[in-house]
């Protein structure tokens, strides 16, 4: 017998494209209600999972977008182009019509990426914002993960820069009025080299304002220092249109440690050299000794920041590089934030499966990325790599996240990862459909889409700092072509999409319609179907089942071979009553299969079925 525990936390306690960490606030008072749900284990390997959800028994579906790119109608796409040349989307471009289009995909959360003011080369000195130095800004628009002011929003995103916060607040209200919830990034590990808050509330002290810069480490400092040495900014390997702006050296003396734990005055070009590491009370250069009592100043500053945004109506935080910040901080801060709003959710960007359980239980995160696990395994299958094997899927739910699979966020694209349709990934968006079906059905945790994924955005072009890297740039001003076809000049009606793009979007709509309200997916157990028929290591089948529903999910990743099998249903699952006709839910086609103990399946290459029986 397997005991599956559902936690309902109330008042609970957190190379490279330059996005890092995630954290939240909380008080040490946490109320944890535990409900034990017992499933009989059938003789063949199976594992029952129970949903941990804040969506009233709906699966969380997150739609990630960068406002700078999402609403941009510009098509010039000049590498390293200015905001005047290439344009920028605004908060106001995310209209009710746009939000309706997002809801068509059955999303219930929108992750607005790049909202908080970050370092940039666009001149807003007329508004009292000091111009950033080109040597410590990546790209023309800058990385959304090099925060310049935690209490401000990116001026690029405002029509009226003076009223930029009001425009963001209006977007939050518009999103809520559309019955969608708002996520934003929380970047706790580092800030921009140029960090200075012009918008901080009265009584707030800036990071580093009271630091003793003569000490490499002090529990009372916000930053780490390299006393007696000035920062040496690494030079790029190639000349770019920004090189002319980088001739005058950036002055930082003494140098501060770099965001990716580089305690040197000379970070390398592939380091996060444009950022400064924040000090949470760990002396990294002396055995990582911890100084958590008294509470470090950074902890208190971060509590103020998260409370500020929660009071703006933000419903949750995607916490950048959560593992680079001590678990003790998350345990302390998340419960405190949940006193501000018990329904806040905290999603940790995490890459070490060995500590997933610790960050969920001790760190108090609601959900974690399932990147080094399901995504990496599915990527090999989508790319048809020689070592691709569906055993990677089994490993995820049977071992890696066993017991907490419903608290793992599944995705195939985000701002860090390559676009599926890019030449360097799969080359064709449709090759990801079996993987998307598995991502959406394997667990009851959140599923995430990245804007443009649903219309096959290829991430093509050398936009600027990131180069032609199969990704959509986060560093530069740019128009996103396939997404712009759906946007259709602000009508958001998809009229410019071709037939293949329309069909792809329709597939995503149907899949998430099925899975986001499926009791078997949200609340059910899981049973792995043993290899049968002609199933090979690129074919996978499993059953999700609850007291209300049974689903057979079959995915064929093979590029050439049709899957043919007679799927035997174990007696224990057949005893779960079901009065529905056998139906393939992706097409709503009744299969006209007589009642019995098996379901015949014929599945073309690179396709999937979700069969209710």
pLDDT digits (tens, 9 = 90+) for 469-482: 999 999 999 999 99
pLDDT reported for residue 33? 31
Of the chain, the end-to-end C-alpha distance in Å amounts to 25
What's the rounded mean pLDDT across residues 399-424? 97
pLDDT digits (tens, 9 = 90+) for 158-197: 999 999 999 999 999 999 999 999 999 999 999 999 999 9
The candidate with the shortest Cα–Cα distance to 345, out of 6, 5, 4, 14, is 14
Instruction: Write down the pLDDT at residue 245.
Output: 85
Q: Residues with Cβ < 8 Å from 247, sequence gap 6 or more?
A: none
Residue 8 has pLDDT above 50, yes or no: no
Q: Is 588 left (phi over 0), alpha (psi -120 to 50) or beta?
A: left
State the pLDDT at residue 37.
29
For residue 266, CA distances in Å to 5, 17, 135, 253, 613 come to 48, 20, 13, 12, 62
Q: φ, ψ for residue 562 (rounded to 5)?
A: -80, 135
pLDDT of residue 608: 98
Residue 89 token pair: 């989307």
Ordered DSSP codes for 32-84: EEEEEEEEPPPSS-EEE-----SSSSS--EEEEE-HHHHT-------TT--HH
Q: Alpha-carbon torsion 418, 422, 423, 425, what sign?
A: positive
The CA distances from residue 262 to 136, 285, 548, in Å, are 15, 10, 53
pLDDT at 238 over 90: no
Is the pLDDT score of 336 beyond 70?
yes
Rounded to an integer, what distance in angstroms lies between the CA atom of residue 270 and that of residue 469? 15
Domain 61-113+164-195+295-516 = CATH 3.20.20.80? yes
pLDDT of residue 14: 31
Q: DSSP characters for 299-332?
A: HHHHHHHHHHHHTTT--EEEEBTGGGS-HHHHHH
Mean pLDDT of 311-325: 98
Q: If you write DSSP's letter for every residue of 126-192 in order, what string do you get?
A: GGT-PPPPGGG-SSSS--TTSEEEEEEE-GGG-SSGGGHHHHHHHHHHHHHHTT-EEEEEE--SEEE
53-62, 243-252, 485-494, 524-533: which range is least confident on average? 53-62
- CATH number of this structure's domain 523-612: 2.60.40.1180
Read off the DSSP letter of residue 278.
B
Per-position DSSP letters for 351-375, written without gaps between them: --GGGHHHHHHTS--SEEE-IIIII
Q: Are 49 and 525 in contact (CB under 8 A)?
A: yes
456 burial (CB, 10 Å; 0-12 / 13-18 / 19+) is buried
Q: Is the pLDDT of residue 71 over 90?
A: yes
- What's the pLDDT score for residue 34? 29
DSSP 222: S
Separation in Å, CA 62 to CA 172, 290, 417, 475? 15, 36, 16, 22
Is the pLDDT higher at 54 or at 309? 309
Beta bridge partners, 110, equal 63, 182
Sign of CA dihedral 347, 352, 356, 360: negative
How far, in Å, CA of 412 to CA of 401, rounded?
A: 18
State residue 332's pLDDT score: 98
User: Rounded distance, CA 248 to CA 134, Å?
Assistant: 9
DSSP classification of residue 21: B
Mean pLDDT of 336-348: 97
DSSP annotation of 569: P
Residue 414: CB atoms within 10 A of its CB come to 23
Would you call 287 exposed, middle or buried from its count of C-beta atoms within 10 A (0-12, 13-18, 19+)?
A: exposed
Q: How confident is the model at residue 246 (pLDDT cuts 50, 70, 90)?
A: confident
Domain with CATH 2.60.40.1180 in the chain: 523-612
User: Whose structure tokens read 């950033």?
Assistant: 132
Looking at residue 577, its pLDDT comes to 76
Query: Is the pLDDT confidence value at 40 over 80?
Result: no
Burial class (CB in 10 A: 0-12, 13-18, 19+), 541: buried
Could you give the C-alpha distances from 354 to 152, 323, 351, 401, in angstroms and in order?
Answer: 36, 11, 9, 10
C-alpha 582/C-alpha 183 separation (Å) is: 38
Indicate whether 579 pLDDT > 50.
yes
The pLDDT of residue 78 is above 90:
yes
The predicted-structure confidence for 433-449, as pLDDT tens digits, reads as follows 999 999 999 999 999 99
Is the predicted pLDDT of residue 53 greater than 50, yes or no?
no
- 14 neighbors 364 (Cβ within 8 angstroms): yes
Give the residue range(s) of CATH 3.20.20.80 domains in the chain: 61-113+164-195+295-516
Which range is least confidently modeled, 38-42, 184-188, 212-216, 526-530?
A: 38-42
Euclidean distance between CA atoms 609 and 529, whole angstroms: 14
Closest CA relative to residue 530, chosen from 541, 519, 538: 541
What 3-state class would DSSP assign to 435? helix
Region 487-500: mean pLDDT is: 98
pLDDT at 237: 62
Mean pLDDT computed over 506-522: 97
139 in Cβ contact with 80 (< 8 Å): yes
CA 215 to chain centre: 36
Question: CA-CA distance, 14 to 223, in Å (whole number)?
Answer: 20
pLDDT of residue 330: 98
Please, how many CA atoms are within 13 Å of residue 270, restricted to the half-sphere of its CB?
2
């Amino acid at each position: 017998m397997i005991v599956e525990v559902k936690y309902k936390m109330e008042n609970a306690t957190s190379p490279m494209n330059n996005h890092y960490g995630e954290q939240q606030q909380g008080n040490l008072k946490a109320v944890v209600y535990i409900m034990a749900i017992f499933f009989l284990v059938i003789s063949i390997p199976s594992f029952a999972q129970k949903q941990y959800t804040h969506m009233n028994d709906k699966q969380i579906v997150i739609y990630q977008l960068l406002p700078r790119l999402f609403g941009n109608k510009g098509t010039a796409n000049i590498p390293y182009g200015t905001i005047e040349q290439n344009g920028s989307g605004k908060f106001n471009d995310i209209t009710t019509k746009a939000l309706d289009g997002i809801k068509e995909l059955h999303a219930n959360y929108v992750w607005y990426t790049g909202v908080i003011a970050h370092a940039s080369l666009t001149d807003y000195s007329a508004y009292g914002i000091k111009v950033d130095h080109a040597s410590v800004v990546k790209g023309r628009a800058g990385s959304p993960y090099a925060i310049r002011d935690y209490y401000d929003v990116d001026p690029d995103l405002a029509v009226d820069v003076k009223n930029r916060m009001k425009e963001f607040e209006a977007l939050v209200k518009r999103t809520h009025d559309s019955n969608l919830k708002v996520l934003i990034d929380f970047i706790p590990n580092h800030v921009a080299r140029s960090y200075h808050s012009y918008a901080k509330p009265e009584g707030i002290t800036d990071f580093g304002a009271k630091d003793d810069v003569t000490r490499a480490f002090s529990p009372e400092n916000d930053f780490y220092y390299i006393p007696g040495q000035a920062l040496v900014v690494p030079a790029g390997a190639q000349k770019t249109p920004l090189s002319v702006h980088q001739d005058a050296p950036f002055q930082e003396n003494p140098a501060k440690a770099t965001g990716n734990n580089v305690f040197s005055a000379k970070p390398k070009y592939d380091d996060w050299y444009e950022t400064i590491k924040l000090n949470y009370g760990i002396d990294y250069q002396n055995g990582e000794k911890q100084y958590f009592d008294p509470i470090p100043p950074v902890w208190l500053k971060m509590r103020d920041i998260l409370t500020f945004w929660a009071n703006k109506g933000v419903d949750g935080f995607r916490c950048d590089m959560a593992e680079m910040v001590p678990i003790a901080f998350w345990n302390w801060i998340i419960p405190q934030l949940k006193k501000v709003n018990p329904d806040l959710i905290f999603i940790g960007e995490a890459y070490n499966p060995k500590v997933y359980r610790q960050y969920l239980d001790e760190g108090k995160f609601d959900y974690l990325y399932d990147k080094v696990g399901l995504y990496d395994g599915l990527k090999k299958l989508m790319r048809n790599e020689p070592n691709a094997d569906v055993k990677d899927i089994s490993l995820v739910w049977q071992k890696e996240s066993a017991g907490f699979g419903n608290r793992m966020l599944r995705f195939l694209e985000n701002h860090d990862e390559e676009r599926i349709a890019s030449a360097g990934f799969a080359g064709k968006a449709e090759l990801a459909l079996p993987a998307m079906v598995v991502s959406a059905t394997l667990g009851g945790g959140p599923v995430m889409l990245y804007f443009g994924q649903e219309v096959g955005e290829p991430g093509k072009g050398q936009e600027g700092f990131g180069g032609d890297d199969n990704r959509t740039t986060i560093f530069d001003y740019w128009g996103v072509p396939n997404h712009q076809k759906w946007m259709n000049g602000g009508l958001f009606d998809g009229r410019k999409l071709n037939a293949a793009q329309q069909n792809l979007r329709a597939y995503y709509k149907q899949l998430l319609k099925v899975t986001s309200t499926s009791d078997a997916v949200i609340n059910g157990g899981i049973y792995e179907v043993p290899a049968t028929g002609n199933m090979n290591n690129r074919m996978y089948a499993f059953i999700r089942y609850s007291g209300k529903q049974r689903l057979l999910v079959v995915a064929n990743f093979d590029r050439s071979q049709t899957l043919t099998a007679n799927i035997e249903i174990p007696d224990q699952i057949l005893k779960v009553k079901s009065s529905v006709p056998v139906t393939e839910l992706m097409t709503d086609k009744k299969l006209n299969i007589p009642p019995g103990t098996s379901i015949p399946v014929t599945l073309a290459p690179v396709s999937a079925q979700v069969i209710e029986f």
